[in-house]
Amino acid sequence: MEEKLYQKTPLFKSHKLHLEKGLNVFYKMECFQPTNSFKIRGMDAFCRFHVKQGHKNFISSSGGNAGYSMAYAGMKLNAKVKVVVPKTTSQFMKQKIETLNAEVLIFGDAWDDAHQHALQLSKTENAIYVPPFDDELLWQGHSTIIDECFDQMPQPDKLIVSVGGGGLLCGILMGLKKHGWNKTQIITTETKGAASFYESYKANKIIELKEIKTVATTLGAKKITPMALKLAKEFNISSFVMDDEIAIEATTLFAKEYNTLVEPACGAALSAVYFDYELITPNDTILVIACGGANQNFFN
């Protein structure tokens, strides 16, 4: 049997929120993955598939976490990896990617710019292009989160997930459909400067943002994958947007509860249970995808 590049992550019940607010909240701790985020699940599926086809040269575009996970997959599967990141990606994150023997290229002001550059490079260098969120192999990899939750807990009443480009959301919804958890209400969370899913869901069509302006840079896709909008129509979705400050505060509360750092992108999902939003009630069993994020450190 092939050794997976990702780990089966634990499901933690929040005793703090149960004691303080009477809430039944469970965290799926994707922050405990080898690359500190759920992204490694999708990259495992994507990279392994193409390596089996004989490909060993990959070019990825990323705001940070997808590239870091792709670099890890490439290192483990003996593949060459280049990662194109925008100028907003921190030096801390670029160094983490380079530590895994991947080459980092900087291009553009937002992920969308890096994406276009990486696409062109992949053509000229005869490499497999690795998108950070818009590919069925990635969604299949991310859906394994729900496979594990199915064995770890009863069906949740509500599931809270952060949305960037929509890859994680696609995987979650595919996993819910697979296990017959269609009646679970989905609460999507984004920061105001990166609310591409919120705007698209509200308009019932893909809306491209003019700019990304948020501290949660790894949510920074100007438009979502169309599959996220398509799958969302099959579920009861509540789309929620908050200020950067709320997402940051949620990461602080999570660190105090679990001694674990996550990015503001993950804090967006955590904020829904830490603060008194009307979407959450004590009668609910709530599953929060603690998606993690490696672009956070103790020293900045």
Mean of the per-residue pLDDT values of the chain = 92
Same domain, 234 and 211: yes
Same domain, 67 and 79: yes
Percent share of the chain, pLDDT over 70: 98
With CA atoms as reference, report the closest residue to 142 among 28, 221, 26, 236: 28
pLDDT of 294 strictly over 90:
no
Task: Taking the CA atoms of 174, 248, 274 and 37 in sequence, report the sign of the dihedral they define.
Answer: positive
pLDDT of 184 strictly over 90:
yes
Between 38 and 220, the more confident residue is 38
Is 29 in contact with 290 (CB distance < 8 Å)? Answer: yes
Rounded to 5 degrees, φ, ψ at 291 are -70, -20
Inside any domain, residue 209: yes
Cβ neighbours for 152, distance < 8 A, ≥ 6 positions apart: 11
Percent share of the chain, pLDDT over 90: 78
Q: Which domain does 66 fall in, by range? A: 39-132
End position of a domain, from candidates 132, 148, 165: 132
Query: 249 to each of 191, 252, 259, how far by Cα in Å?
Result: 13, 5, 14
DSSP type of residue 78: T
Is 288 in contact with 25 (CB distance < 8 Å)? Answer: yes
Average pLDDT over residues 186-209: 94
Same domain, 25 and 165: yes
With CA atoms as reference, report the closest residue to 133 among 168, 174, 181, 176: 168
What single letter denotes the amino acid at residue 164?
Answer: G
The SS3 of residue 170 is: helix
Give the CATH number for residue 79: 3.40.50.1100
Average pLDDT over residues 154-167: 96
- Residue range 106-116, pLDDT digits in tens: 998 877 888 89
Joined tokens for residue 127: 């490499």
How far is the C-alpha of 156 from the C-alpha of 166, rounded, in Å?
21
Same domain, 120 and 149: no
* Of 76-80, 151-155, 293-297, minimum mean pLDDT range: 293-297
End position of a domain, from candidates 79, 108, 132: 132
Task: Give this prediction's pTM.
Answer: 0.94
Same domain, 242 and 97: no
Same domain, 118 and 177: no
Domains contained in the chain, number: 2
- Residue range 215-265, pLDDT digits in tens: 887 777 889 999 999 999 999 999 999 999 999 999 999 999 999 999 999
Dihedral of CA atoms 270, 274, 275, 279 in degrees, nearest 10, equals: 70
pLDDT, position 297: 66
